[in-house]
Chain A
Amino acid sequence: MSEKIIVANKGFVRAEFSFWVGRYMDKFYDAFENKKIIGNKCPKCEKRFVPPRKICGECYEEIIFDKNWVDLPDTGILLNYTITPYKVTDRTSRKVKKSQIIGMIQIEGSDTAIVYKLLNMEPEDISLGMKVKAEWEEKPIGNSADIKGFVKI
């Protein structure tokens, strides 16, 4: 064995998945098309979820689709963040031009946090608990990328 023989398997079979997001996320993304964030709440413990859920895991209570929706603002509180010089899809080889700042944002009026990029910010601008606002794509199409990220307000 002078040199290892490597057989590369580079996607010679196309097996791409097309997921339907389900009724709850469908409604959530419909709101995105109007640059709005909605969530839903557990009828028992009143915990408010973003994105919306079919059930509250803790109460094991169904959150009936026809009700329990809450309109929320597109502003939130920064709970946590991390700064990474890598593309998340390819840590091993591809670095991004400028380190990405990725935050956990609690949308105001909700009890959960969502993960998005923080935009127009340097590390020294960040403080936990600061208020941020969603920056929307000009023409949202109804998916998670409609929010480009969050900016400081």
Chain B
Amino acid sequence: MERVGIVGYYQVKLYSNANYGRYEMIFEAVRGALDSAELKKKDITTVVSCTNDYYDGRTISNAFTVEVGGAYLEDESKVEMDGAHAVLYGLMRILSGNHKLAVIWGGSMASCFPYHSARLYETDPTWERPVAYVNDITASGFQMRAYMEKYNVDIEEIAKISVKNRKNASKNPLALEEAQNANLSVNDILNSEIYADPVRELMVAQPCDGVAALLLAPEKQALKITDKPVWITGVGYNQETYYLGDRDLSISNSMELAGKMAFDAAGIKEPKNEINIAELFEAYAHEELIFSEALGLAEKGKGSELNSEIDGDLPINPSGGAQGGNPPCATGLIRIIEAAKQLRGEANGYQVKGAKKAVASGQIGMCAQNNIVYVLEGGD
């Protein structure tokens, strides 16, 4: 694959109830990304946004974000999945050879609506929705139990992921304040409120307000813009079937296949030995284990045996991951930005030493029906 570089990024501080509006937030992110690369609006040739009509409470939700997103009378369109999927679209536009600078931004304000209730609208309107037993939370309860049962994993092992990620989030100044906590114990996690047993409140990535933006450029242009580009050397994406009852929820087939596609493109044969740091969009603590296993960073059912602390064998979510705040439509994009920060040595306070190759993932759908994986490499 031709090299496409990440040449700038910006993420706003995450809030559970932000004190400024969505347009201000989008502007801060896009303007901030341009400033980080010392670029101007006139340098932008294409804009890809990621918002969701249901989450924004309006149809064609990007209609209102044209100006703040830097797309006034410009080439602009929207991806209604995760911000990480918008990056794929932006990447394709760059690879088409027609563009010199793509702005990709995504995000929303979960404080404006009941997020988990809105996700009921994802369910089949002719079958599941009228009886309303399935939303993202109950689905995650099934997913976590399926994983624990299949591999005999104790709930404590899953709680440890929340402890780790919330501790990591405490070092990340942009993480959600409510999620930043270096002093949680496994018992604190287990004793937090039951959402959908076995899933506890502190295992859930809390929906919040936030926007992030990323800049992509083709190789030649990237090298002109920055002396610290981060290259996208592989991308993979995969989607599985919709009905929960048709799927094996103890594993993630789509993540495994997406990972294989991305690693093949990047020429990575042994992810466990070649990847230095992973930023995975775990909407629930147990998903970090399922995903890291699907990506081959650990053996199936043995994810909890991996030392994934910041100074561990293979750091996973040193930024705190989605547990550090989950702004719908931005979370996967933030994982890519966090991985890029690590490769540029800009993760102040939670920097992984000597990170050269990273993997970042995004997801969308019940129990991560769709997954997207990026392999990123630093250096020139």
Contact = CB atoms under 8 A, between A and B. Distances in A.
A84 B245 contact: no
Contacts of A145: 130-131
A104 B244 contact: yes
Interface in A63-96: 79-93
B137 A91 contact: yes
Interface in A88-128: 88-93, 99-100, 102, 104, 106, 112-117, 123, 128
Contacts of B241: 57
Nearest to B125: A19
Contact of A80 (B199, B243, B249): B249
Interface residues on B, range: 35 or more
Interface residues of A, number: 41
A91 B135 contact: yes
Contact of A88 (B120, B142, B145, B199): B120
B138 A88 contact: yes
Judged by DSSP, the binding face of A is strand
B272 to A, nearest CB: 30
Contacts of A87: 132
B303 to A, nearest CB: 20
B130 A80 contact: no
B153 interface: no
A21 B199 CA distance: 33
B145 A102 contact: no
Contacts of B116: 91-92
B133 A91 contact: no
Contact of B138 (A4, A84, A106, A112): A84
Given A19-B126, A112-B243, A145-B130, A88 B149 contact: no
Contacts of A100: 133
7 smallest A-B Cβ distances: which pairs? A82-B141, A113-B245, A83-B197, A21-B126, A91-B116, A84-B196, A82-B196
Interface of B: 19, 57, 114, 116-117, 120, 125-128, 130-135, 137-138, 141-142, 145-146, 149, 194-199, 241, 243-246, 249
Interface of A: 4, 9, 17, 19, 21-22, 25, 49, 51, 57, 79-93, 99-100, 102, 104, 106, 112-117, 123, 128, 143-145
